[in-house]
Amino acid sequence: MHIPDAVLDPRVAALTGILGAAGLFYGLKSVEGQLKERTTSLMGMMSAFIFAAQMVNFPVGPGVSGHLLGSVLAAAMLGPWAGAVVIAAVLIVQCFLFGDGGLTALGANFVNMGLIGSVVGYAIYAPIRRWIGGQRGILIAAMIAAWFTVLLAAGACAAELSASGNHRDFFRVLSWMALVHALIGLGEAIITGLVVRFILLTRPDLIEQDPTFALEPQVPGDGPPRRWLATILGGLGVALAVVVFLSPLASELPDGLEFVGQRIGFLAAESPSSPIPVPMPDYQLPLPSLEHVKAATAVAGLVGTLVVFAVSWGLARVFSGAGRRSERASADAA
């Protein structure tokens, strides 16, 4: 999902650059206030970890593999802004040392993967975690947040790309990005879930505590006042992610279709055989017609959401007892 140089319009690059810089400054300030002189070692080590973790390839199918992005994982371990700072460090090193992601697109990449990935991701994660409660809540919330943030980041990426070109082209880019990232997001959710599960089974204390009621028994509905802002942001994030999937279906844009018609030679290269997405790496995809893409995008969104819910419940079953036990233990300790 790294946007390279020269793809974005200079104005879009400048705008996202300013937005990213502002977000990063705010993130650094808040992390420094929270961690004090521990900032450097913890942020540096976690950045190195996310960087290394991104190099582990997961087999998806024959000849195809995917890897973790880690935005939600970092946010679940350290909190939203620390997660964003970690992602920023990873992006800067990737850009300067490896040429991965453009220098002028650094802001856009940080907005997509850091601010949306970690901060909005955490805003989705926190209310779900609080609502379900316990270690179960942590696992399920992390997986759902990972799934939705990959889609949101893809949506933001599509928005940036189409803002750089023809605005009416937005839905075409969006449906492609959403379709491909439905699959990537599924992988991200499952990897994030399995890693979080591993941590919960070994060192649950390392996971960032819910500041509002860390040691309280988790009773949905009552207890200390919820942080409404996070809940609203999270709800907004989920709603937007749903829109990412459904809007291509709703759009009746003759321009997009005309355009496809003009390029039919290019698009028809792959026969529109299967509306079900096949495993694909980041940017390489077969090219069925736009109608199929729209339908497939919506189907992928629906199926993906259901799969994430099902898998996360399945993985979290382990914690039905363990969660309560550890809560009791921590309540005893308090």
Partner 1 sequence: MRLDAPDDRGKRAGPVHRLDARYKLLFTLAFVIAVVATPIGQWRVLGSLGLLLALLVGISGAPVRSLVLRWAGFALVVGFLAVMVAPGLPARASHGLVTVILSIVVKNSLAFLMMLVLATVTSWLDLLQAMRQLGVPRVLVATLQFMERYLHVLGEELARMSQARRARSFQGGSILSWRLLTGMLGMLLLRSFERAERVHSAMLARGWDGTIRTLD
Residues within window 161-220 making contact with partner 1, judged by CB under 8 A: 161-162, 164-166, 169, 172-173, 176, 190-191, 194-195, 197-199, 202-203, 206
Quote the least distance from Cβ 242 to partner 1, whole Å: 24
β-bridge partners, 59: 65
**Cβ 10 vs Cβ 105: under 8 Å:** no
Which C-beta is closer to partner 1: that of 77 or that of 116?
77
CA distance 279 to 276: 10
Q: Indicate which single residue of 77, 87, 115, 116 sits in contact with partner 1 (rule: CB under 8 A).
A: 77
Which C-beta is closer to partner 1: that of 259 or that of 313?
259
Q: Is 251 in the site for partner 1 (CB under 8 A)?
A: no
User: Considering only CA atoms, which of 166, 181, 141 is closest in space to residue 256?
Assistant: 166
Quote the least distance from Cβ 176 to partner 1, whole Å: 7
> Tokens at residue 117, please?
């990935």
- Classify burial at 118, counting beta carbons within 10 Å of its beta carbon; exposed 0-12, middle 13-18, buried 19 or more: buried
Binding region for partner 1 (CB under 8 A) out of 46-54, 134-142, 220-228, 297-305:
46-54
The alpha carbons of the chain give a radius of gyration, in whole angstroms, of 20
10-39: which residues touch partner 1 (CB under 8 A)?
Answer: 10, 13, 24-25, 28, 31-32, 36-39
Per-residue interface string for the shown chain with partner 1, residues 87-106, x marking contact by CB under 8 A: -xxx-xxxxxxxxx-xxx--
Quote the least distance from Cβ 311 to partner 1, whole Å: 11
Task: Find the angle CA(51)-CA(68)-CA(62) to the nearest 5 degrees.
Answer: 120
User: Considering only CA atoms, which of 160, 149, 222, 234 is closest in space to residue 192?
Assistant: 149
Quote the least distance from Cβ 211 to partner 1, whole Å: 19
**Binding-site size, partner 1 (CB under 8 A):** 77
